[in-house]
Amino acid sequence: MSVSGIINSHLIMAAAIERHGTDEQKQKYLPKMAAGELRGGVALTEPDAGTDLQAIRTTAKRDGNRGYVINGAKMWITNSIHGDCMALLAKTDPKAEPAHKGMSLFIAEKGKGFKVARKLEKLGYRGIDTAELVFEDYFVPADCLIGGVEGRGLQQVLGGLELGRINVAARGVGIAQAALDEAVKYSQTRKTFGKPICQHQAIQLKLADMVTRVEASRLLVARAAETYARGERSDMEAGMAKLFATEAAMENALDAMRIHGGYGYSTEFPIERMFRDAPLLLIGEGTNEIQRIIIARQLIERNPA
């Protein structure tokens, strides 16, 4: 089971409640989530809305003062099969302009109308349960609206996504380091032309690039984590860490496979799993293309002419 992947979605939901929830919501959910008695997740992405969350179609209509009736579907939702509740993003005002002003975030516990439609099979990260969810006249009480205020859902979840991106970046460091460790070990035992391949210049060049990526990634992740921990805005720092560390994971996995040769492509060594797991990090919690846009916009905003 990929514990880091499970914890990531769980932490994003907890961060949204901790930063924006009412006192009652914090008291009800956070102790149980911290103790592992309640597994949470975030239900944002939809079949036709991934990066562009303002395009979601899931709606939450008021049912008097009792609560909301939710209809719609969510896709690629982690922890949704074995989890207990989700931070669910829905439109309380589908006609709002701009669209984000009509979006709200709910604490959605499993129950009538909350359906796990199908498990999604993946190339890698198979230890994490990922599924499509369908909501059909699913009722949530009014006190499950995070913060008790409509129209703040997107802003409420974005802070959690900063933490999620730092977590994904840390996983990128983990894969990059693991690939480096395997490559170093193998290069000292595998021999060609009468000497270990680590003595060949072509292999040394790859190893040098791999270790440099690891160390640079680790420093970027540490900086982003420290910025977030201080309560400062960290979307640029989280974006840089996520971008660089996940690309490092992908590049190191590929270089490790090349150093291992045919063995790197076999299931006898762990390299093939790293090569399958790394691509998800380039996509999850905002694609790396989106991270580049976030970084550039923040760079300009922080350095006005």
Residue 193 banded pLDDT, cuts 50, 70, 90 = very high
Q: Which residues are catalytic?
A: 285
Q: Among 10-14, 119-123, 135-139, name the most confident range.
A: 135-139
DSSP 49: B
Per-residue confidence (pLDDT) for residue 9, from 0 to 100: 86
pLDDT of residue 139 exceeding 60, the answer is: yes
**Average pLDDT over the chain, rounded to an integer:** 94
pLDDT of residue 2 exceeding 60, the answer is: no
Residue 52 banded pLDDT, cuts 50, 70, 90 = confident
Mean pLDDT of all residues in 209-234: 96
Integer Cα distance of 141 and 168 in angstroms: 32
Higher pLDDT, 126 or 221: 221
Label residue 98 exposed, middle or buried (CB < 10 Å: 0-12, 13-18, 19+).
exposed
Mean pLDDT of all residues in 161-182: 95
pLDDT of residue 78 exceeding 80, the answer is: yes
Read off the pLDDT of residues 90-109 as tens digits, 9 standing for 90 and up.
999 999 999 999 999 999 99
Q: Could you tell me what percent of the chain has a pLDDT over 90? A: 86
Domains of the chain are: 3-151 (2.40.110.10), 156-302 (1.20.140.10)
pLDDT of residue 22 exceeding 60, the answer is: yes
Q: What is the DSSP secondary-structure string of 82-111?
A: T-SEEEEEEES-TT-SSGGGGEEEEEEES-
Tokens describing residue 249: 């994971």
DSSP 136: E
**Are residues 137 and 113 in contact, defined by beta-carbon separation less than 8 angstroms?**
yes
Per-residue confidence (pLDDT) for residue 126, from 0 to 100: 86
Per-residue confidence (pLDDT) for residue 3, from 0 to 100: 52
Q: What residue type is assigned to position 94 of the chain?
A: P
**Are residues 212 and 247 in contact, defined by beta-carbon separation less than 8 angstroms?**
no
